Structure 1
Amino acid sequence: MLQFPDSYFEDEVRDGFYVPSMIKRAWATAMDVLCEVDRICCKYNIKYYAEWGTLLGAVRHAGFIPWDDDLDIGMMRTDYRKFCEVAPKEFNESFQIFTFNTQKDFHHFLARVVCKNRICFEDEHLRRFHGFPYIAGLDIFVHDNVSNDAMLQEKCEKTAEYVITVADAIGDGRLNKAQETEALRRINNMLHVNCTSIEDKEQERIQLYNVAESVFASFEHEKCMEMTQMMPHSLYGRHLRIPKKFYEKLVRIPFENTTIPVPAGFDAMLKRRYGDYMKLVRNAGGHDYPFYESQKRQLEALMDFKLPEYTYDEKKVVREADPEELSGYRRYLKDYLDNIERQIEEIGHIQDTEVIKEKLVDVQQEVIDMGNLIEKIKGEGTESVRCLEHFCDVIYTMYQGNNADIKAEYDNVRRILEKDIIEKKEVLILVSKASEWKYIENVWKKYKEEQDTEVDVAILPYFYKEYDGSIKKEVNELGNFTTDIGAIDLAQYDIALHHPDIIYIQNPFDNENKAIGIEKKYYSDRLKCCTNKLVYIQSFTLEEFNSSNEREYKNMGCFCTVPGVVNSDEVYVQSENMRNMYIKKLTEFAGKETENIWKDKIYVKPDWMKNEGYNVVKGNGKIKILFYTSISGLMQNSEIAAGKIKNVLDVFKQYSDKIEVIWCVQSLVDTVMEDINRNLSEQINTIRDKYRIEEIGHICSDRDKDILNSCDAYYGDISSVVQEYRNADKPVMIMNYEV
């Protein structure tokens, strides 16, 4: 059983794509299935390897492709047969294997291993599988040998096509009795088998599918140089061919929080399939997204009601009336001052000494109350409190029968309190995560520079949820913020008493997130009642998209149609295009009649607000260049790669007074290069050791995302980072090993 940190299940932006918490739970469940498959394969010496998008994800992302949600592995036919035989007896817990032999209406020439064969909301299952109730797992694709004799291979494929066509026609009821009899006779004569007519036509289909698989596996001898996935990638004119030499050796590489075997020849194979496979292509893939959406719809149809979800509340979206200019403790102070002024005016018209003393006692008590209120908010020793203490002394002097200009003293108190407190704008910035501070830092800086504004940064604690939504672990990141921010624990700040003019938030979810939650008293609708303006600032940056990008647009529901966005008075997003996407999504969510509401409240971040760069200190005036070395570049140019890299670094060294080099060596180089090419691996390590000793620049991993994106320009091999630099309008130059 794999272990996942609580943070793994949070929503995350990967390569500009928003990955919701529920997808993370699906990923984790699929990886649990992979862990079980791996255990069985290790026990029985069965070889398997990452296949299709999983292979691409492992190499390019060290995990799932962010916009994909399935897991694929491959096996050769002999290993596949062995696995299908031993797995049912070996599976722990509720794991099951589906093939066309074991699962009704499963018409695929592959195996699917799942955590459970049904949607399950039982506590034990949800606790074990990360709160994911739907059927999830992985597909096992089968590879068969391809004959070196092209004519024999073509005959094999045509025969398999015919058998499958007959099988489906019989299973679907498209053949009459005579046609069925003739087709079976022909297959029996052609393949020397004994297929019979079966009353249950679905069983007859399965009988013929097994014959087709036998045809797939016609060539078992070791002399075959190529292999293929017969159905559907080699039949019907597709003729997929994969050199077996790519798979002669397997190496394990990182995949999310585990490892997965991949063919040592992955670079050449991925190039053959995808061309420039390091280029990010966000296509729709081969199935509905997310895959569990159809299961959810089936469940709702069966239960005849929709599963709970956040819905639009028109009473919360727009303020019913403009808020008062002053509220909270500043309003209390103004009321105190107004009342004291009236009493002082009354004192001026009273002749009776005892009555004057009674009034002075009342005034003094109100002054003391004001001081206590200010100390509660501002602490002791402020100028406002000192002037109130002096005012009390003046009142006492008058009480003793001495003359004093109480009106002049009052005017001075009022001037100081209005200047220092009442007329100052108060701004509260609520943040939970230190990693998101960069998205709101410039807001804080702006208000810090304004003389008439007081800005506070308060850390909003959050908690990780159990599968049932209950609190699993509370988190307070106050200690993760730098001291210059002056952040405080939100428990020290009475929001209702302060009633800030503006509250900025970064967490838009309230409780509408599968992974994290906050205390109910800090939900956006409640915060809105404690301020004149509630503002949400988008705390992530996405690759730009439009509504035709189905997966990106689908996932908008996880961060757009949520309470913090709906309830805020203003919402700031990354671009005009994203503003249009928010408006479109929110209008679909809340109804056409609400479109103008969203147009009025959704804004593009102004330039002064944007500060989404990475916190890497430059300070030396040099241009910072990212030099990227990938496993792909090294494998393609294995004979000359080390010499080229050494020459490049020597050139960089000559210009070290003008440039600072960050050399990123893809983590796969350290993971697999020694197994693939020991000599090249040793050469790269020697060059790196010299680089460190000579202190030409710095070395980082491809997982150090902040450092990767902090440089001014890119040079080196093709990688997923290239697109991010191009998006940021930073110079990009791809290294030519031949020059």
Structure 2
Amino acid sequence: MRKRTAKKLVKCVDDILSSMEMLTKFKENSYMVSKVKNVYSDNMAVLENEKDAGQRYSELLDEFKKKIESSEIEGAKKTADDFKNLISGSIVYKVVFMPYKASMWDSLESVWMAADKDERCEALVVPITYYELDSNRNPAKKVNEREGFPEYVPVVNDEEYDLENDRPDIIYIHNPYDDTNLVTRVESRYYSWNLKKYCERLVYIPYYKWIDGVSSTVFRSAMYYADYTVQSSDDAVKRCIEASPDYARLLGMENVEVRNAMEEKLINLGSPEVDKIVSLDEETAKMPEEWKKRVIKSRVNVLYNTTIDEIFVAKSLDKVKETLEIFKRQKNRAFVIWRPHPLLRQTLQSMLPHLLDEYDEIMRAFMDDDYGVLDINASMNHSIFWSDAYYGFRSSSLTELYKYTGKIVLKDSPKIVRVESNMSENTLLARLRETNVVNEPEVSLENMIDVIYGNGELKNGSCVKATNSGIKINDYMLNEISF
């Protein structure tokens, strides 16, 4: 039964006991006798109306009725305790996941898996509708990505889901922007302050992996309006709390009030995205059909991640063009799996429109050639699993997540178009055997490809062992709302 039903039933039991105890003090008062009888009748009718609660429920209810009707108050109290324990133990919590982009589902998936397997939960996945915005920040296209979720995830059409009447116990979201995103925007009924009206706990889990000492503490409205923001490190919690004065200015509130809220809401429970990375195998990350016979073991398959941040840092696409040229020159020994950020083109269209034609031309030329594949899959896991190494911007959460594979990571410096590394092959080989993370300009992309090509054992990563954050988050939130 739902928690609100259980609370109602327990209140009925308590009201009956209270009224019967009152009757012992005023049994000569006809008005009180009549009032107690009405209380008993009304509340017992509610208890009896719960017809699907099971045999044990019926047995304890009958026992409770007999002891009340025979005025065995002490016996009734004992039965009431057993009855209430049964009711509270029968609660099934409604837990609803409301992702908006299928490509960001990994930030919630392991929590959903934990809830879906938990007998205490009824878990639903309701992908929510959003709009792509034009350069004037006006809705240009209505989108719902429910068809892009994995086949093993049953999804519910948000237009058919009655949130206002269902009132789930917990809602999980990964979109924190509400009405402030400049590229996409969810429907207003899904803004965090609106969702909060219809659940007991609203939980925001970021769709990016925090990078200690690097990630930004920029305020996002769901951080304040949600009951909890799940972070993946103590550094994230500490630095976001320290940024409370900045948040307070944006909210127009007192520093101390916002800081107190952040201290209560921010909690380190790990990263569901890491859960996904360390669990990948050939079955869960099946190679896309169009990659077969192209992504082959004889070459160094490099995942090239192009982020929105690095384009804004570089203020041009020159580094992207130079990087693709390197792969074109090296195509006999290297192969690129290019994964531009899913919102990169929309962001250029909205915020850097002068680069849009150039980006489209780069994309057309790449698609017409044969030195790589474009990864536009909703999930980044195919690229992570089937690549041998990674190249991308240091502040990208994908850069951080790739480290957990144990395979080589080269961090890109987007302002340096042509990297000239003076490190010898032997020195670089020793470095890569010692650590799986190196940086430009100390190491160039071409250097990395050459050394990995000549030393195939460097392709083999060893995934970091990590506690399952999904189970941890699910247990924590259920304990928070336990009856």
TM-score by length of 1: 0.35
TM-score by length of 2: 0.50
Q: Which has the larger radius of gyration?
A: 1
